Structures are given as structure tokens and as C-alpha cells.
Amino acid sequence: MRYWLMKSEPDEFSIHDLERVGTEPWTGVRNYQARNFMRDGMKPGDRILFYHSNTKVPGVAGIAEVASTAYPDPTQFDPRSDYHDPKATREEPRWMMVDVSFVEKFDDVVSLEEIKSIADELDEFALVRRGNRLSVMPVAERHYKRILALKPKSKRSKR
């Protein structure tokens, strides 16, 4: 199993939204590197750190998992979509995506600030490198586990 980090602006689509809908087609990625990670790297069952970007407290808000193999993003063919790509055709789609399913919502976000505070333990972790704008990135298993260890303990554990 591999591990990933995917960013979403919570005003657009948050971990709460994912919990509500269960599974969401991850449309709209229009960056080749991010596409390649989804197309070539992701397998159903892979775990995803669900990251809230462009918000008051950016950070990892929960866990999701890859729920499909990659398939063409239908929004690229839709002239009325914000994500329409006139150069994409059904014969030769340009943009691929996966479905993403809810796994867990953290009681509190593991903030970017906290993650940065242990950056010395997270060498080569793309998120904490300056200027990173990728919305989909691979996460090493040890980094995934280290970030989960920052998760707050549930106040009323039902497990």
C-alpha cells in the first residue's frame, strides 16, 4: 500500500463534505505531475492524508483512501465546466482522476505549523519544502505514520 497527500480547499470541499458523501470523484486536477501520481501510482486502498489548504488553519484534517483506479476526468470534456479542456478528446483524454473515499476525520486538524515544527524529522517530505504547490503528492510510510502520531487523542474514545 502507498500513501499520498491530497489538498482541498475546505470552502470548496472539506473532510466534512467527504464524510457526508462517502465517496467523491476527484475532478479538476490540472497539473501533469499530480495527474501522473493519480494515473501511475494510485491503487484502490492506498491511504490519503486529506489536507485543507487556503484556510485559516491549513493542515491535515483527516484520512481518506483511494477508491478506484484512474479514469478520465469527465469535466475536461464539458464545455460548461470550469475544468473544461478544449484540447482534450474522449479518444485522447488529457486528465485522469480517481475516486476518493472517507476514512476518518480528526478531532482537530494537524496543522501545517505542527508539521513544520517536526520538519527536521520529515526530510524529503514535499509538503514542508518551500513553495510547494502540488495538490497531489506521495508520502513516505514513515512520514505518514509520523504525522498520524501528531493527531490529537480523542477525548471520548469509543474504540
Residues in contact with DNA by the rule CB under 7 A: 7, 9, 30-32, 53-55, 58, 112-113, 116, 129-135
To DNA, the closest distance from the beta carbon of 115 in angstroms equals 10
To DNA, the closest distance from the beta carbon of 153 in angstroms equals 24
Pure H helices in 28-158: 32-36, 112-117, 141-148
**What DSSP element (H or E) covers 5?**
strand 3-8
Nearer Cβ to DNA (58/62): 58
Nearer Cβ to DNA (22/131): 131
Q: Please answer whether residues 59 and 52 qualify as being in contact, where contact means their C-beta atoms are separated by less than 8 angstroms.
A: yes
Nearer Cβ to DNA (17/45): 17
Residue 40 CA, chain-centre distance (Å), reads: 16
Nearer Cβ to DNA (112/140): 112
Give me the half-sphere count of Cα atoms (radius 13 Å) on the Cβ side of residue 7. Answer: 18
To DNA, the closest distance from the beta carbon of 36 in angstroms equals 10
Residue 18: Cβ within 10 Å count:
23
To DNA, the closest distance from the beta carbon of 159 in angstroms equals 30
Nearer Cβ to DNA (22/86): 86
To DNA, the closest distance from the beta carbon of 54 in angstroms equals 4
In one letter, which amino acid is 27? T
Q: Regarding beta strands 96-97 and 59-66, do their DSSP bridges make them parallel or antiparallel, or are they unpaired?
A: unpaired
7 contacts: CB under 8 Å, gap ≥ 6: 51, 52, 53, 135, 136
